[in-house]
Amino acid sequence: MLKKIKYILIALALISLILCTSGCVIYSPQPASPPSPSAPPAADNTGEHTNPNWTFPSEASQTTQPLPDIASVVSKIMPSVVSVTTQIVIQDIFQREYTESAAGSGVIIDDEGYIVTNNHVVQDSQNVQVELGDGRAFPASIVGTDALTDLAVLKIDAVNLPYAYLGDSDLLAVGDWVIAIGNALGEGVSATEGIVSRLNVSVTVQGNTLSDLIQTTAAINPGNSGGPLVNMAGEVVGTTSVKIEAVGVEGMGYAISVNSAKPIIQELIHQGYVTRPWLGVGLYTVDPFVAAVNNLPVNKGALIVEVAADSPAKTAGLKEGDVIIRFEGKEINTKDDFLQAIHDCQIGQRVEITFARDKDTKTTWAQLQESPPPWG
């Protein structure tokens, strides 16, 4: 009996050590009452605040020299960092609706009120509020979001705002000092210092792989999501996104590198969404369990669960139930493999797709199109 208990305790200890990633948003449930019938619809991008002529503010006048100390860096960047509060309507297990508040962070990137944050900070939100360092609060519109890179751009109606300059994350080296600034635990904007631990890191969060991340020892807590990671010149070099949470794990936070974020930010402001190569399929990862339940001929690959009308996939003859196993000569084991392979292609490129249908293996060709607007 004691031996059996010993094995159980060992198993529980091992489970507690499994790493899990989480976004850095802090949630605060509201009283469990149904939302008012007149509650505003979920915030979405209507294109109202997109600006196809927008460019990053000129950096010609800024200093790129390190500031004398951490306090000087914080003093320079702090006025441009904002607290972001959202409200989300969710359902409990009995399908009863209630409102939950979430706190995140953001950074102002120009004097017209554009703010960079994380997609997961504002995703599915009813409304978004932004509080500036001087205490002023503004409702914010969502200009655009991109789930694949976990980035979003907000807009507030204010001018002459303090804003942060975006630096060059390619100049970072392991061991460089950096500072994470954000609305930690929803208690107001604060700063923590650390170093760059690793560069060009990939982390998978809820099935989505974030790439070109900066790993840092700067303490990152719930509420920090969307806040800036800055270098010793007071320039933004990353956007705080996720951290590793596990028993005994410390100092493993991640920020999206600013050089990866810049083209995404610019595209979100220009048109409200990011343009990528598009095949037009909904996908699900195949594993032995999925294969057995659905009587599939293979136990790995990307299962097509939806084919969009008038899409390249439809034209190529792909159907629901087909399993993609090779794409442009590359083996496909999961849905993420297939999505990454598509994103590595060019719009208009003709691609070779090998798939399993029933007991046959077939090959077809498709010409990738530009991804349609998410609201279209």
Q: Which of 141, 225, 257, 311 is catalytic?
A: 225
Q: Give the whole-angstrom CA distance, residue 329 versus residue 337.
A: 12
Structure tokens at 24: 């850095």
120 is a catalytic site residue: yes
Q: For residue 291, what are the contacts with CB-CB under 8 A and spacing of at least 6? A: 298, 299, 300
Q: Which of 105, 120, 270, 337 is catalytic?
A: 120
Q: Give the whole-angstrom CA distance, residue 217 versus residue 297.
A: 46
Q: Give the whole-angstrom CA distance, residue 227 versus residue 241.
A: 8
225 is a catalytic site residue: yes
Q: Which of 80, 146, 150, 311 is catalytic?
A: 150
49 is a catalytic site residue: no
Residue 338 burial by Cβ neighbours in a 10 Å radius (0-12, 13-18, 19+): buried
The long-range contacts involving 62-66, CB below 8 angstroms and separated by at least 24 positions, are 62/165, 62/235, 63/233, 64/167, 64/233, 64/235, 65/233, 66/231, 66/232, 66/233
The catalytic residues are: 120, 150, 225
